[in-house]
Amino acid sequence: MLSYVWAEDEKGAIGYQGRLPWHLPADLAHFKAKTMGHPMLMGRKTFESLPGLLPGRQHVVLSTRKLDLPAGVLQLKSEEEVSAWLKEQAGEVCVIGGSSLFALLADQVDKLEVTRIKGIFSADTYMPNLDWAAFALVKSEAHRADGKNKYDYVFETYLRKK
């Protein structure tokens, strides 16, 4: 199963200057819960934006560039290598960005795990358009801003319709 796990603002923003445009601890915890134990497929810029290797998850980076990656990080260099690697995976694979990787695999994704953040932020990277009609909302949890989380947000899970 191929899942997308991401957060976006009201205009679909997902990044700014190689970082998240907001700080939302609840979303970071949600991301950890959704990706733990699963391989995470990402582009080079997304990998470089991480604070380091995230424990309990295999890191797989798509980049045509020759990268000097830490031990244990798998690099795939083409769409063909991604397709072959995905076919070998028995369980859930989480795609965590960036925008071009989300666009590349949009016709193959089975599950969407999106955090919708109430607000509009400065951004230079946006989620590509998805065929939302192909998915059914199966879970939605709305949360209010609190002492740790400055913004209202909603966790949503969608599954591709059969």
Return d(Cα 118, Cα 101) in angstroms, integer. Answer: 24
Q: What does the pLDDT read at residue 3?
A: 98
pLDDT in tens, 106-130: 999 999 999 999 999 999 999 999 9
Quickly state the pLDDT bin for 103 (edges 50, 70, 90).
Answer: very high
Q: Are 97 and 148 in contact (CB under 8 A)?
A: no
Return d(Cα 101, Cα 114) in angstroms, integer. Answer: 16
Q: What is the mean pLDDT of the chain?
A: 97
- The CATH architecture annotation of domain 2-160 reads 3-Layer(aba) Sandwich (3.40)
Q: What does the pLDDT read at residue 40?
A: 98
Total-model pTM: 0.96
Quickly state the pLDDT bin for 61 (edges 50, 70, 90).
Answer: very high
Q: What does the pLDDT read at residue 155?
A: 98
Q: What does the pLDDT read at residue 118?
A: 98
Give me 149's structure tokens. 């989380």
Q: Averaged over 122-149, what is the pLDDT?
A: 98
Residue 33: CB partners within 8 Å, gap ≥ 6?
none
Q: In this prediction, what percent of the chain has a pLDDT beyond 90?
A: 99
Q: Averaged over 34-63, what is the pLDDT?
A: 97
Q: Averaged over 88-93, what is the pLDDT?
A: 97
Q: Where are the domains of the chain?
A: 2-160
- Number of other residues whose CB lies within 10 A of the CB of residue 113: 21
* Max intra-chain CA distance, the chain: 46
DSSP state of 77: -
Quickly state the pLDDT bin for 84 (edges 50, 70, 90).
Answer: very high
